[in-house]
Structure 1
Amino acid sequence: MPDNKNSLTGFSSIAVHAGHTKDPNNAHLTPIYASSTYVFDEAEQGMRRFSGEEKGYIYSRWGNPTIAEAEEKIAALESFGVMDKNGNALQLKAILHSSGMAALSTLLISNLKSGDKILTHFSLYGGSQELVEKILPPLGIEAIIVDLRDLNKAEAMMKADAKIKMLYLETPANPTIQCVDIEELTNLAKQYSLTVACDNTFATPYLQQPFKYGVDFVFHSTTKFLNGHGTAIGGVLLGKDIEKMNGHVTKVHRLLGGNSNSFDAFLLTLGMKTLEVRMERHCHNAMEVAALLESHPAISKVNYLGLHSHPDYYTAAKQMRHPGGMLSFEMKDGLEASKKFIDKLQMCLRAVSLGTCDTLLCHPASMTHFSVPKEKRALYGITDGLIRMSVGIENVQDILMDLEQALNP
């Protein structure tokens, strides 16, 4: 492999090769370094490593060779083809975590303090929603939630409250598949000196690269499409301020203790090698599924960014390569119809999570967003008849047949 990742010209080449360094024993793949700690040749070496004078591993909560490869590969994917403000290839620092929520916690705690406010929008992942509304307030950090698809509302809020320090985006959003304009919102946020962070879990760097539009941080639940096989929990936080990422953010990450482990990092690295080919199939299948659902009499609404009926169709087309592998839809007869439909599925699976090779369906109101109060779910469009679907990479005809038989009386 070329030493410089920028010499590779294709996304899949980056996905396969980036982050890998030659193993001392010439292993094809970076081994699983199942070691909690690392020995020093001499006391002075240990001192140099702790002081930062010498690079090297100390303790796996702080870093691990297997974890490092996964981090560098994700950073290469998110920065592929993206330039910094000086016209140079964008440099990113990635920190792998034990879960998406751990990565999100590091992001928020390392950038916000008591008295600060975070501006975000409705229809976030249920865990993210609870974190900003239940965990942050006792720490003195308030969440302001508005419809950020309305740029006038977004700017009015930024202008009215100087305590707002961060703009947090999740696009496409979970589970309503709402899409906000990353570029326009980031431009507004920078006028008011806000830090901008974006959850890119649903889109992945293959479909969408938020750093291209000037955001400061990108966050993923790597459990989902990046891993792609449902084999490991993980999360990653990426930032373009390398000094801050290596300094304060890394310190917060280490002290919170949400580190990943070598086995999950190994599985993540394997999954990312096929990201492009998987996402192409996910998106192709999702378009076919959305077309079927939109025409079915039992369905009142389909939320898929590839349909012209979606209100955010043009925003998604502007910033995404394809509309994605996620969709949701409303059953006309509400909760009972939803349960009946889900129970009749034969090949597609009843499960939370998303982004795996197999098709997964769940009922957000009673599952992923159960802890969000019902009145807020209704405001956010998470009705009792809403079903979220992560479209897999199976033969699309088999997916369609399973849906049709489950929808029919």
Structure 2
Amino acid sequence: MAHPFSFGTLCAQPSADPRTTRPHQLPIYATSSFAFEGLPEGMQVFSGDQPGYLYSRFGNPTIDAVAAKIAALESLNLAGKATAYLLSSGMAAISTLCLALLKPGEKILIPNNLYGGTNELFAKILTPMGYQAVIGNLREEAALRRQLQADPSIKMVYFETPANPTLSCIDLQMAADAARQAGAYAVVDNTFATPYLQQPFLYGAHFVVHSTTKYLNGHGNSTSGAIVGLDEALMKEKVFPALKLIGTNCSPWDAWLLENGMKTLELRMERHCSNAMQIARWLEGQPEVAKVHYPGLESHEDHQLAKKQMCAFGGVVSFELKGGAAAGQRFVSGLQLCSLAPTMGDVDTLVMHPASMSHLRVPPEQRRAAGITDGMIRLSIGIESPQDLIADLKNGLGRVAKGRRI
């Protein structure tokens, strides 16, 4: 039977969906928009009277399915459920949340040891727009409460725990309680721990953000971020409109890659943590190492706190070399197995020199005050054989020792 349409029309029209059974794996809905059966359906979906999809910036089945999984993981042990949105990156998650919740003139209270990119966002983008970030002591309850009480314009308390790259920890319960009582939002970056190791909502946090590029994905093949909140109305009425109108949404492809990565999250985190503990203990005995930062070590100042609010201690180990910046540069040049890369959370081991990479644009005095010394090295421990990793680290330390003898 002859087809009623011409060649060009057939090319341009969407192909018919031949599916008769449900797919086993989540499909990628690679479409910018969604078609309606007729105008009445379109009107009902646009008005919100009927659930449905309109345009992928407003929502997409692939993206929403993955966001729902992250929300379920973060609220697994809670009576209520969380709501999550996927965004184009972790930085998109942080900036969108701040713009959604805060008004110009309101302040964000932060510790002095945030990830360098977050520091830059607050200092160079949000502060000129009127959203001032102020540094405070989030580790001591009395100091935190005094600062919140003295400045009612502080409407958000934002922090990482463990912090990047010092791995210092903040008491989630204490900080969240202080923020709530002051009428401020408590926002926790849970990228390093993931919901497998730590669930900030159990301790009273209002919002959790992730760079899902890191451990949740785990394979270094996509970029995305997440905002998770317990107040569904607040998420839908404030956070979602900001995401939709600023256009910081995730792509279906990146969401699908994230979905595949999360399938092995528990298994990967167990190996990351096991390897990291073994390597941290080994580094403590090396003569070229001045100090090792890992919450799993009894020598870490926040070891007991980490034990209280984490079920294991993560896959990142930082350490300080005795020779400063020169030693750090010699160390990374002596590695063969570990890759020099400005990210973390992948299945293979990654190394970074924060003073010349992630925190290069942070003022040196602020960086050093935060404990990020010129000789600090951050290791994102992968799932390789720990013996192979230690052998490679020996090569790097050998290069440091040789340089000190010259």
TM-score by length of structure 1 reads 0.92
Give, in angstroms, the shift of residue 219 of structure 1: 0.2
C-alpha separation in 1, matches of 2:126 and 2:248? 17
Aligned counterparts of 2:29 and 2:21: Cα–Cα separation in 1 = 13
Equivalent residue, structure 1, for 2:264: 274
CA RMSD of aligned residues (A): 1.0
Query: C-alpha offsets along residues 340-389 of structure 1, whole Å, 9 cap, x if unaligned?
Result: 11011011111110000000001111111111111111111111101111
Of the three residues 70, 73, 98, the one matched with 1:74 is 70
Q: 2:242 aligns with which of 252, 259, 267?
A: 252
Give the Cα separation in 1 of the matches to 2:174 and 2:39: 53
Q: Which amino acid aligns with 2:126?
A: L
Match of 1:340 among 330, 340, 356: 330
User: Helix, strand or coil for the counterpart of 2:128?
Assistant: helix
Q: Identify which of 230, 233, 236 aligns with 1:243.
A: 233
Cα deviation 1:81-104 (Å, max 9, x = unaligned): 12xxxxxx2211100001111111
Larger gyration radius, structure 1 or structure 2: 2
Which of 23, 32, 35 is 1:39 aligned to? 35
1:285 counterpart = 2:275: yes
Q: How does 1:71-150 map to 2 (within 5 A)?
A: 71-82=67-78, 89-150=79-140
Between the aligned partners of 1:47 and 1:323, the Cα distance in structure 2 is 51
SS at match of 2:205: coil
**Separation (CA, whole Å) in 2 of partners of 1:189 and 1:33:** 40
From 310, 314, 318, the counterpart of 1:320 = 310
**2:300 maps to 1:300:** no
| Structure-2 residue corresponding to 1:14 | none
Aligned partner letter, 1:348: C
Matches within 5 A, 1:123-272: 123-272=113-262
For the residue of structure 2 that corresponds to 1:138, the secondary structure is coil
Task: Please give the per-residue CA displacement for 1:237-277, whole angstroms capped at 9, x wherever unaligned.
Answer: 01111011112210010011011111111110010111111
Residue 149 of structure 1: how far off its partner (Å): 1.1
* Cα displacement (A) at 1:132: 1.4
Q: 2:50 corresponds to which residue?
A: 54
Q: Supply the distance in 1 between the matched residues of 2:231 and 2:37 (Cα, whole angstroms).
A: 33
Query: Are the structure 2 counterparts of residues 330 and 24 from structure 1 closer, same or farther at C-alpha, using a change threshold of 3 Å?
Result: farther
Distance in 2 separating the partners of 1:136 and 1:406: 39
> In 1, are the aligned partners of 2:218 and 2:347 still within 8 Å (CA)?
yes
What amino acid is the match of 1:386?
Answer: M
Deviations 1:201-242 (A, max 9, x none): 000000000000111100000000000000100000011110
SS at match of 2:149: helix
Q: What stretches of structure 1 move > 3 A for 4+ residues in a row?
A: none
Is the partner of 1:236 in helix, strand or coil? strand
Separation in 2 of the partners of 1:395 and 1:52?
Answer: 53
Give 1:100's aligned amino acid.
G
Answer whether contact 2:85 2:228 (CA < 8 A) is retained: yes
**Equivalent-residue separation in structure 2 for 1:399 and 1:184 (angstroms):** 37
Q: Is the 8 A contact 2:316 2:379 kept in 1?
A: yes
Maintained 8 Å contact 2:75/2:81: yes
1:25 offset after TM fit, Å?
3.7
Q: In the alignment, which residue of structure 1 is the partner of 2:9?
A: none
Q: Which residue of 2 aligns with 1:400?
A: 390
**Count of aligned positions:** 381
Alignment correspondent of 2:11: none
Distance 1:78 1:237, change over 3 A: same
Change in Cα spacing, 1:24 to 1:127, as seen in structure 2 (3 Å) is farther
SS at match of 1:231: coil
Secondary structure of the corresponding residue to residue 325 of structure 2: helix
Q: Give the aligned residue type for 1:314.
A: Q
Structure 2 letter corresponding to 1:253: L
Counterpart of 1:54, as a letter, is: Q
Measured after TM superposition, the shift of residue 192 of structure 1 is 1.1
Partner of 1:370: 360
Give the drift of 1:145: 0.8
**Structure 1, 380-389 or 23-32: larger mean CA deviation:** 23-32
Describe the superposition over 1:142-194 as per-residue Cα deviations: whole angstroms up to 9, x where unpaired. 11112311222111101111111111121100011110000011112221111
8 Å contact from structure 2 (residues 101, 238) kept in 1: no
Matches of 1:263 and 1:142, distance apart in 2:
35
What is the Cα deviation at residue 327 of structure 1?
1.5
- Pairwise CA distance, 1:405: 2.1
Distance 2:80 2:200 in 1: 12
Q: Where does residue 340 of structure 2 map in the other structure?
A: 350
Q: Which amino acid aligns with 1:77?
A: L
Q: Give the whole-Å Cα distance in 2 for the aligned partners of 1:320 and 1:343.
A: 34
Amino acid at match of 1:46: G
Instruction: State the partner residue of 1:85.
Output: none
